[in-house]
Amino acid sequence: MATATAPITTKQATVLPGRRYDHYFFSGVVLLMLGLVVAGFGPSYYFAGVFRSSLPSTLIHVHGAVFSGWMLLLIAQSSLVSMGRVDIHKRLGIAGMFMAGLMLVLGVLAATDSLARPPRVPGRDPLAFYSIPLVSVAAFAALMYFAFRERRNSPAHKRLVLVANVALMTAAIARLPLAFVHRKAPIDILCGYAFLLLLIAYDLWSTRKLQRATLGAAAFLATAQWSAVLFSRTSVWHGFAGAVQRWAQAHLI
């Protein structure tokens, strides 16, 4: 039996692409994310002169600068792995974790700053919407924490990092000059899942199975985001967000 199954196992191993194309796939997806961020925030931020752009507060400028720096770090980290400089990649990874923590704090502050100001989208409930950026940035930070824990497990690590960044894409998608996605949070969240579908398709093509990290991270992100959407409609959430709004109006603007 052992001699009969060995040729089949060897043949399957040679047929499956495995991790041979990981550098191309993950680098390509990161570039797509960068392009989406530039397309979404370009008119109001990048093409408007970055720090000369008309943003509502200094806090939002800092938020934009740090989140832009994160995207550049993501590109650098992906490139370093492709070039075989894993040693530098690991050292930058420590700085990346501190940056991810800073992004969590700035994301919460930026969402609260926006809550304190007059609504920018007519007809949208600002108290309900407040849950979307909060949960997205919290999910990003949580997934980055798990990615750091799995840093010695390269396949799981890179998948957790990718899914973590999917959580940040909702804001960029919402700012695209396309009527069907512009400032429409539930639709924007769904459109961001295109990156998850790409990852799932790559898993199935390269290994013929869905990787545990992909499944767990995607399920976590989707559960967090849609729980936020549903909970944001409750009186409990409106009471909490209303209290935060009053505090922010008194202290942030």
The count of C-alpha atoms lying within 13 angstroms of the C-alpha of 172, restricted to the half-sphere facing its C-beta, is 23
Residue 3 has phi, psi (to 5 degrees) of -70, -25
Task: Let me know: does 161 contact 70? Beta carbons within 8 Å.
Answer: no
Report if residue 59 sits inside a domain: yes
Q: Domains in the chain: how many in total?
A: 1
Greater pLDDT, 44 or 240:
240
- Taking 3-state DSSP, the helix, strand and coil percentages for the chain, each rounded to the nearest 5, stand at 80, 0, 20
Distance of CA 93 to the CA centre of its chain: 17
Report if residue 81 sits inside a domain: yes
Give the C-alpha separation, 144 to 101, whole Å. 9
Q: What pLDDT is recorded for position 2?
A: 46
Q: What pLDDT is recorded for position 14?
A: 54
Report if residue 252 sits inside a domain: no
Greater pLDDT, 7 or 180:
180
The band of 74, judged by pLDDT with boundaries at 50, 70 and 90, is very high
pLDDT at 115 over 90: yes
pLDDT > 70: what percent of the chain?
A: 92
The band of 44, judged by pLDDT with boundaries at 50, 70 and 90, is confident
Q: What pLDDT is recorded for position 154?
A: 92
Domain holding 29, by residue range, is 21-113+129-233
Greater pLDDT, 220 or 61:
220
Residue that has been written with the tokens 């990156």 in this structure: 195
pLDDT at 34 over 50: yes
Report if residue 7 sits inside a domain: no
pLDDT at 53 over 90: no
| 3-class DSSP state of 85 | coil
**List of residues 6+ apart from 105 with CB closer than 8 A:** none
Residue ranges with strand state E in the chain:
none
Give the C-alpha separation, 9 to 92, whole Å. 39
Mean local confidence (pLDDT), 129-143: 96
Say what the pTM is. Answer: 0.89
Report if residue 193 sits inside a domain: yes
Q: What pLDDT is recorded for position 19?
A: 79
DSSP states of 95-149: HHHHHHHHHHHHHHHHHHHHHTSPPSSTT--HHHHTHHHHHHHHHHHHHHHHHHH
Report if residue 158 sits inside a domain: yes
Report if residue 238 sits inside a domain: no
Give the C-alpha separation, 159 to 163, whole Å. 6
Mean local confidence (pLDDT), 92-105: 93
Mean local confidence (pLDDT), 48-73: 86
CA distances from 117 to 32, 112, 180, 246 (A): 32, 9, 25, 10
| 3-class DSSP state of 193 | coil
Give the C-alpha separation, 114 to 99, whole Å. 22
Report if residue 188 sits inside a domain: yes
